Structure 1
Amino acid sequence: MRFLLITDTFPPDINGVARTLATLAAGLKQRGHEVEVVTTLEAGPDEAEDAIKRHTVMAMPLPGYPGLRMGFTTTWQMQSLYESFRPDALYVATETPLGIASIRAGNKMGIPMVSGFHTNFQTYLEDYSLPGLEGVAQGLLRSIHNQTARTLTPSADTAAMLERWGIHNVGVLGRGVDTALFDPARRSMALRETWGARDDTPVALYVGRVAAEKNLELLTCSFAKFREANPSAVCVVVGDGPKLKSLQSEHPEFHYAGSRTGEDLATHYASADVFIFPSITETFGNVVLEAMSSGLMTVAYDYAAPRLLIHTGQNGLLAAFDDETAFLTQCEKAANCWEDATQRQAAREAARHLGWQRVIEQFETELKSVIPPILAKDPA
């Protein structure tokens, strides 16, 4: 079958949505389907020759966030692409002008569509100087997603939210992790030494965008609490974003590793001890899976992926959602039990059963489910 994925972000972008969509696209291709992607960025120089074929559209940086882009196209242009590729179904993973034009063209041509809700952009508005517009954004998102046959989102929490907004036929498509890549065996003493950490020095780690919506103020307070409880501790930030320079200026005591990918990223995870994740805006939180697969004790809020995976005192530490005092208390606990090998092995075991194959199979089933039986056919 032919599937077309439509998204503003795709590798070489470095973020959870881009990695997820690349994994899903590659998985569909491995299962015998013809897959192409419409996105905003050309392929990187290291992309394999047999990589997913992409069609790029015009784009502009998101206001206040130059590292991400918003795609632009027309209904006519998308219809022309559909006529050329003849997709059996579309997966529209963006609510920007690119996604809106893609859905409009799909409806005009009668092509079955599934949409994806990957990012809580409506909660970012206040962080990016647009307060008071969350209700307007919810109405727009409801209108967009209800034009597709089904909307997929990665957690039950987010699915319940979408249903409260009036979005119909919402499904949960979870996430997976490459447990061979994110493995405690990648721990590197040489890397720890560059951070000034000995074998008996606890390292607290953050991985993700360095941006306002990631609750950076609580992150810095959490690192401070961690070091207060264990003065020898080292704190490491992996990632890039619009707030990186200001964070570096305000907190030069942290180590900043920048963006990392592949084995390099996996080594950074495995070389730490505790993962601190204070965000309250996730639809899932792929980094939590990666940290747990790497054998780290995770401190996070009780929602999305952490709620699904973490059992406090057994394989990590949860705090009541958006309760900063409780979160800091858990960071203090983590600083005092970071060497708990039982909890860290249990974190690894919890992630071990969450490989990508089951997610890819469900994604394939979801796409096939919106195709009328008379049009369905076996993969080429």
Structure 2
Amino acid sequence: MQLPTRTSDLRVALFSGNYNMVTDGANKALNRLVGYLLAQGAQVRVYSPTVENPAFPPTGDLVSVPSFAIPGRAEYRIATGLPASVRRDLAEFAPNIVHVSSPDPTAHRAVTWAREQGLPALASVHTRFDTYPRYYNMAWVEPLLTAILRRFYRRCDALVAPSESFAQVLRDQRMNYDISLWSRGVDRHIFDASRRDMAWRRSLGIADDEVVVGLFSRLVMEKGLDVFSDTIDELNGKGVKHRVLIVGDGPAREWFEARLPNAVFAGYQAGTDLGRAVASMDVLFFPSVTETFGNVTLEAMACSLPVVCAEATGSESLVDNGVSGRLIPPGRIHAFAEAVRAYVESPELRAAHGAAGEARSRDFSWDRINQSVADTYLRLIRQKVAGRK
């Protein structure tokens, strides 16, 4: 293998479990990475399950891999392996590094293929997969799932994680000994306080003097929708005047609408429409503990919103507690309610913490962040070549 020295020398085989089937933070980050690499002259080939009507067009060349729909969550699919046709495509593409982004059977086979070819394999870790079972009454599965993930990630040459707090979790779990950061950026053309639109709020029945407690996310239970709902109940019980605005869609939407009948559900929003919706909130309340970075949190901060989040991986690396928002121990309904209440009742506190969050959000440049991944690719290739000598 010829030693690449520049980003333009890279040939990346990227394996994704969901490259563009639905819209979430992980696949948006992957598409943005591919776009950046292609702009720098690198070659990239993406291997992922595909569907007839994806959420958005893929960035770069996409090769479909065999998959099946997840029972009960048909919008997601599990990639099932690496058939001969895909192996031939890989051989013809001749990558100098393999990047896997979901611990599915295809990714397992891709790592094996990379090791057989003497190529480095990098895994990007996008979500707390080990925490998901607790939201479906299967917490007993977590230790087994953690062990399976450890076996997979230890077979990779290195991992990249979206936040330092999550990287430390992975170190503590002994997932790998080479873990670096691939943070996330924010699109400031979309997420900016100037997109606040009072006329749009009025069209939803929200008065100008009402304080909006907002959530924008894919509506699935692992985002802490139960904690959000219980907290709103406590605010209502204490007579705290506010309006709830929910932006997003997903399989738990019907449950969420029934649970919060007085909330405004604006549905799925994208691009500048999403920026308008977020900037038109007054406080972000996001109690999820499954985030590894917290794109939602960063985007709200860029819109000058104070944020109330669970004290968990991702948010701990973004929010300065008591300065740009509040970090509350997971599941502490009363503490969440008091933190949200403070913002609802104090416009001065909202303004001060919103301004601090906006300033912090400026540290996240997509080009700088994605170049760090390219630099990690180059380092791993150098190490692999040096190990053969």
Q: Point out the more displaced range, 165-174 or 361-370.
A: 165-174
Q: Do residues 289 (structure 1) and 305 (structure 2) align?
A: no
Pairing of 1:307-346 with structure 2 (within 5 A): 307-338=316-347, 340-346=350-356
Cα 1:60–1:212 change in 2 (3 A) is: same
Match of 2:117 in 1: 109
Match of 2:45 in 1: 36
SS of the equivalent of 1:126 reads helix
Deviation at 1:85, TM superposition (A): 0.8
Match of 1:190 in 2: 199
Out of 68, 73, 78, which is 2:76 matched to?
68
Match of 1:265 in 2: 274
Match of 1:119 in 2: 127
SS of the equivalent of 2:381 reads coil
On the 8 A contact 1:206/1:237 being kept in 2, the answer is yes
On the 8 A contact 2:214/2:244 being kept in 1, the answer is yes
Match of 2:19 in 1: 10
On the 8 A contact 1:226/1:334 being kept in 2, the answer is no
Q: Do residues 246 (structure 1) and 232 (structure 2) align?
A: no
Cα distance in 2 for partners of 1:84, 1:287 equals 39
Match of 1:236 in 2: 245
On the 8 A contact 1:75/1:102 being kept in 2, the answer is no
Cα 1:73–1:338 change in 2 (3 A) is: farther
Cα distance in 2 for partners of 1:9, 1:154 equals 17
Match of 2:4 in 1: none
Match of 2:153 in 1: 145
Match of 1:175 in 2: 184
Give structure 2 stretches of 5+ with no counterpart.
1-9
Cα distance in 1 for partners of 2:283, 2:275 equals 14
Cα distance in 2 for partners of 1:152, 1:91 equals 10
Cα distance in 2 for partners of 1:263, 1:18 equals 19
Match of 1:55 in 2: 63
Equivalent residues, number: 374
Measured against aligned partners, the alpha-carbon deviations of 1:299-350 in whole angstroms (never above 9, x if no partner) come to: 0122333222222332222223443332222112121124532322221111
Query: What amino acid maps onto 1:183 in structure 2?
Result: D
What percent identity do the matched residue pairs reach?
26
Measured against aligned partners, the alpha-carbon deviations of 1:36-59 in whole angstroms (never above 9, x if no partner) come to: 2111125859638xx411111222
Cα distance in 1 for partners of 2:85, 2:57 equals 26
Cα 1:227–1:145 change in 2 (3 A) is: same
Query: What amino acid maps onto 1:52 in structure 2?
Result: G
> What is the RMSD computed on CA atoms of the aligned residues?
2.2
Q: Do residues 88 (structure 1) and 92 (structure 2) align?
A: no
Cα distance in 2 for partners of 1:260, 1:97 equals 32
Q: TM-score, normalised by structure 2?
A: 0.89
Measured against aligned partners, the alpha-carbon deviations of 1:49-96 in whole angstroms (never above 9, x if no partner) come to: xx4111112222223322222112226444322201111111100101
Query: What amino acid maps onto 1:303 in structure 2?
Result: A
Query: What amino acid maps onto 1:131 in structure 2?
Result: A
Q: Do residues 353 (structure 1) and 363 (structure 2) align?
A: yes
Measured against aligned partners, the alpha-carbon deviations of 1:6-26 in whole angstroms (never above 9, x if no partner) come to: 111122521111111111111
Match of 2:35 in 1: 26
Q: Point out the more displaced range, 88-97 or 225-234.
A: 225-234
SS of the equivalent of 2:186 reads coil
